[in-house]
Structure 1
Amino acid sequence: MLAGLSPARRRLVLGVLAAAVVGLLAVVGAVLVPRLTAPTPAPVSQAEPGPVLLVPGYGGSTTGLQSLADALTAVGRDATVVSLPGDGTGDLRETAAVLGDAVDAALARTGADSVDVVGYSAGGVTARLWAADGGAAQARRIVTLGSPHHGTTIADLGATLAPDQCPEACQQLTTSSDLLRQLNAGDETPAGPTWVSIWTEVDQTVTPPDSADLEGALDITVQSVCADSTVAHGQLPSDPLVQGMVIAELAAGQPVDLGPADCARLSS
């Protein structure tokens, strides 16, 4: 096509094409660059702990977490157990929205700049969903207790053998769930808060127990502090040792790498 044009017209056509390509690249760059350079939340100050919100696990029971909330209150912390909609077996994304409302209310009530969040079992996944959806900018620290961050084979069995008894949250906690795959596809611990995952090596509900490992968090097993501990999944929120660990991790300053030297002190 260009071969049949005079040299002057050929130069004109090539110039127009070049300008069009440059313009297209500029448009593409304007669309893509903001996405690639979108600002992440600034690190939240670790010096001033705010109110603590405790998020129940699958089923929504608040009994064990209320014991932990009472222990936190006894050391001067403002601690509230979040009430989940229904029986806590519905869509975890809706539960995360409820947590967001509770956070907004706690900040408005106390005038604090940030909150601390403790998520027990599936409540830890709920906390992560909330953080990934913008909550990371409001949290100083997020602590998860025995949370199936990468699913649990117990949910796999339920979904396979008795699907009618494995509601939406159960389906979302399977090891191959789309929700967990998407949640773990990027940064497992979004910038903003500091993260701690506490779990027990003898967990028979979150299986395998190391599903509670959270990339980017300070991961601490109960047995790495007290080697002879046999605390089970259901006992995590009410166990005196675990309560001591949570209180230590929610103190002002950076998370603490606890170990055997802390066993006696935290167990008392």
Structure 2
Amino acid sequence: MQTVAKEGEQDYLANIGEMGRTHCLNKPFSDTYCGMNLTSIGTIMSLLPPAPARILDLGCGGGWTSIFLARHGYEVVGQDIAADMIELARENAGLYRVGDHLQFICGDFESLDFQDHFDAAIFFDSLHHAEDEALAIRSAYRALKPGGILITHEPGEGHAIHPQSIQAMELYGVTERDMPPQLIIARGKEAGFVDARILPMPEELFSIFYKRRTYPKHLLSKRRFNISRRVLRLLFKPDPAKGAIVIQTK
């Protein structure tokens, strides 16, 4: 029996209306955080094996991440639970010359049938919509070839109680959950992944290195000390509760 939350995910595109559909079709450029999203997908591309590796894009929505990967030469399968979202993704792909590099399938990422097929699998801001993240990660594990990698780009603790998340759940009946690295890695170990790395989100690097500083630039200032401490933590002791990019190897 299908749950109400999954019905909400399947009905999401219809419920957000024509303006929402246009927004999905024009991602990432229609997003307020377009720059960070482009930086994130670029970071993930740099972590993937070279093209034309086979990539499974899980919870691809309107397909922009799948299209970016296919245009770079990867062989991509984009998956989403909503049939109308898959149709939108196909419409989106039709605007670009990706040829046979890209296909879209409709299905539940908690119960896919792939076995030892892909070089890498990606959850890009989608795993936190899962009802059962353990099933989703096991499904990704089965889909990967031995030595394949799973990359997740997910929000950490506090996401589920953010006002935007609460609003989405109330308006559209979708699932919004915390998906911190410690949970992803724990479920990955249960599935059989043997190695894991936590990498900072691009927005965190931006806030440290690129954001304009308006305070006095004293060499030994308290703020400089705090920034230095943040950098050292990112390098040697990343926070397992914060949103992050996680890489796991089968």
Larger radius of gyration: 1
| TM-score of the pair, normalised by structure 1 | 0.37
Relative to its length, the structure with more strand (as a share) is 2
